[in-house]
Homo-oligomer: A and B are copies of this chain.
């Protein structure tokens, strides 16, 4: 991390200038302090953490990695643990518990106040990847008949414990969400106006069981600072704040990149993930793809007579396979991305297909011209080479077209079948296209060069 200088802080610690160190740490952002603490030995970590003022300590604690949190918890007295845990937001505690070993979880639960414990338990019940699992239960709720002045009083009284105060939620007596209001609107209004007349009815909301990817899209689309989350009966259960939505965005992007490169998504950052976990995340798809590529190999053996007659044919296989694979990867990436952002849906299929067909036509022309020129320049333009160039041209054009068709169709089909379109990411497309390209190649070659 290049955001701040860790060395000067280490020097202060080594020189036992604890007062100066404490002041320096207080001036930093919590995440920066957390990065510094992670670099220390366990004993130093516990020692420096205890230097910090209580309110800041909790903010820093929540930014730390699981390992450092565990180290601290096992060094904490029950009283220290109690004071840190009860400063945290319920959603952060829930996230933390999911990573901790059972004995640590029990100690945390035992030291949490009953209201926190209850919120955390609720949050832990929502499926991973659901809106419920990323929301927080600490929000400001108002009633419609409050005046703006009363609402501000209420915010002042309850605000310090809420994740955001800028968007407040109006609920009725049965906790149904009936509107939202921004602090900005209230600041610009008269104190005696009521919340009910200023609020926005029918606010954008998410269901607790909604996919978190869909929550993220609502933030992107509607420029929200927070999104209310309700149960099936429109009762307000929690909110997602924009900073948590950004974290989910990041995680989803990381997952998509992993899938694009035929890996299971990693839960932790690259350097913090153990070697075996990395290997495990990568091996499954490598095996599947290796065995699928075997199929392409088997196809090739069927055409031994062809390349025994003209061995040069073999040397074009990599070019044909790679170009087909790359074309397929381009289309599938575009389509997977557009599906992920809801920019295209299944009923756009024929528009997408027609577009990809026209694109592959343009691309084929250029690739075939360049490749023909290259081959004839390198090997001369006798009648045999002209025939081979013809074979390559036909194969290239067919491979590009097929790659683009498969590349756009398979992800959309996967989505249609309720599967994640990203399983049709480029490596799988490449393997499928490879086999098809080889098949086309040797069939065209056999016909044009009269080989079989």
Contact = CB atoms under 8 A, between A and B. Distances in A.
Interface of A: 1-3, 27, 29, 31, 152, 155-156, 159-160, 165-166, 183-184, 187-188, 202, 204, 219-223, 225, 242-243, 246-247, 249-250, 253-254, 256-258, 260-263, 266, 269-271, 275-276, 278-279, 282-283, 285-287, 289-291, 293-294, 296-298, 300-301, 304, 307-308, 311-312, 314-319, 321-323, 325-327, 329-330, 332-335, 337-338, 341-345, 348, 351-352, 355, 358-359, 362-363, 366-367, 370-371, 374, 426-427, 430-431, 434, 438
B269 A343 contact: yes
Contacts of A225: 166, 225, 242
Contact of A355 (B219, B275, B297): B275
B31 A337 contact: no
B183 A330 contact: no
Contact of A275 (B308, B343, B362, B366): B362
Contact of A165 (B184, B293, B300, B434): B184
B261 A334 contact: yes
A323 B290 contact: yes
Contacts of A271: 338, 343-344, 348, 351-352, 355
A110 to B, nearest CB: 29
B31 A323 contact: no
B371 A290 contact: yes
Given A300-B315, A315-B301, A319-B294, A278 B355 contact: yes
A219 B246 contact: yes
B262 A363 contact: no
Contact of A283 (B308, B363, B374): B363
A204 to B, nearest CB: 7
Nearest to A242: B242
B204 A187 contact: no
Contact of A370 (B290, B301, B318, B367): B290
A367 B290 contact: yes
Contact of A359 (B275, B285, B359): B275
Contacts of A165: 184, 187
Contact of A307 (B204, B222, B314): B314
Contacts of A327: 282, 286
A202 to B, nearest CB: 7
A362 B184 contact: no
A340 B99 CA distance: 26
Contact of A223 (B243, B342, B371): B243
B249 A279 contact: no
Nearest to A252: B253
Contacts of A256: 257
Contacts of A1: 342, 345
A127 B40 CA distance: 40
Among A187, A316, A351, chain B packs the most CB atoms within 10 A around the CB of A187
Given A183-B187, A290-B370, A317-B318, 17 more contacts: A2-B345, A3-B221, A159-B184, A166-B184, A242-B246, A249-B249, A257-B337, A270-B344, A271-B352, A279-B363, A286-B363, A289-B323, A290-B371, A293-B323, A300-B315, A318-B438, A322-B434
A197 to B, nearest CB: 16
A333 B275 contact: no
Nearest to A276: B362
Contacts of A242: 225, 242, 246
A9 to B, nearest CB: 16
24 contacts: A31-B222, A155-B187, A159-B187, A165-B187, A223-B243, A225-B225, A256-B257, A257-B257, A261-B334, A270-B335, A270-B343, A279-B362, A279-B363, A283-B362, A287-B370, A291-B370, A297-B318, A300-B315, A300-B317, A308-B311, A314-B314, A317-B317, A321-B321, A322-B430
A293 B322 contact: yes
Nearest to A243: B223
A2 B342 contact: yes
Contacts of A344: 270-271
Given A187-B165, A330-B261, A316 B297 contact: yes
